[in-house]
């Protein structure tokens, strides 16, 4: 397997590329519109063929690169079955395997940050989108976010993965790149709650400012970034 992560500074977004060595087929997770040229350069230099680009959820803080990538590479674009993004060429649902060469990658429905949030599980790692961040969890106060649902996604799904599983989040604002399920269980303050009610109270007390780009990004992203 080949793996590479890209970082979009303005929105602190991670975009992940995973590729199958045998078929040279590649998958991009959470591409950013402004960085599409970077991805295409990397794909060309590595002699990889992009066949699928996916979003973990409809983003509020950056414009998705799905539409531009589909136009430029004819890749398949995918989003969760629950999403209001109408323009994606296909959908995944809970438990579904994504087809990228011989890669073993499975969609795991982890709602809470939004009602269309997914994580992607591979044998040694998980891409957690904005459900589980390093030392944090994604806010639950817009886009049909729900702290109760997020509690169950975290404690009932993600924390049940083996503790050595590498955690690759959708964002990081403090310079971290990777964690593990065990580290997050032990050191993530958001996960040190006694029960669902405590988690809901913690999330509802956050009072975060609205993302700068939200009024532009959400409508654009429902149209795959409007390309
Ligand atoms: Fe998000």
Dump pLDDT digits (tens) for 18-62. 999 999 999 999 999 999 999 999 999 999 999 999 999 999 999
Dump pLDDT digits (tens) for 79-111. 999 999 988 999 999 999 998 999 999 999 999
pLDDT band, very low/low/confident/very high, at 212 (cuts 50, 70, 90): confident
pTM equals: 0.97
Does 227 have pLDDT greater than 80? Answer: no
Distance (Å) from CA 24 to ligand 1 centroid: 29
Q: 160 — phi, psi (to 5°)?
A: -90, -5
In the chain, the percentage of residues whose pLDDT exceeds 90 is 93
Distance (Å) from CA 107 to ligand 1 centroid: 17
| Host H or E run for residue 91 | strand 90-92
* Nearest residue to 137 (alpha-carbon basis) of 120, 121, 159: 159
Distance (Å) from CA 122 to ligand 1 centroid: 21
- How many CB atoms neighbour CB 114 within 10 A? 30
Q: Which residues contact 150 (CB under 8 A, 6 or more apart)?
A: 110, 111, 112, 113, 131, 137, 138, 140, 199, 203
């Amino acid at each position: 397997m080949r793996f590479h992560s890209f970082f979009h500074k303005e929105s602190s977004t991670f975009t992940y590329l995973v590729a199958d060595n045998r078929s040279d087929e590649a998958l991009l997770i959470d591409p950013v519109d402004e960085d599409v040229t970077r991805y295409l350069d990397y794909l060309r230099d590595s002699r990889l063929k992009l066949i699928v680009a996916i979003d973990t959820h409809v983003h509020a803080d950056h414009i998705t690169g799905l539409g531009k990538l589909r136009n430029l590479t004819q890749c398949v674009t995918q989003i969760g079955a629950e999403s209001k993004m109408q323009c994606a060429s296909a959908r995944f649902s809970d438990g579904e395997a994504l087809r990228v060469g011989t890669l073993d990658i499975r969609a795991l429905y982890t709602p809470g940050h939004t009602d269309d949030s997914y994580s992607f599980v591979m044998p040694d790692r998980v891409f957690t989108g904005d459900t589980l961040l390093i030392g944090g969890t994604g806010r639950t106060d817009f886009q049909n976010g729900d702290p109760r649902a997020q509690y169950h996604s975290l404690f009932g799904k993600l924390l049940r993965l083996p503790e050595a599983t590498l955690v690759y989040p959708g964002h990081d604002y403090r310079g971290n790149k990777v964690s593990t399920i065990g580290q997050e269980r032990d050191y993530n303050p958001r996960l040190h709650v006694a029960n669902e009610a405590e988690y809901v109270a913690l999330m509802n007390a956050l009072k975060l400012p609205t993302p700068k780009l939200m009024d532009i990004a959400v409508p654009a992203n429902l149209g795959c970034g409007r390309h």
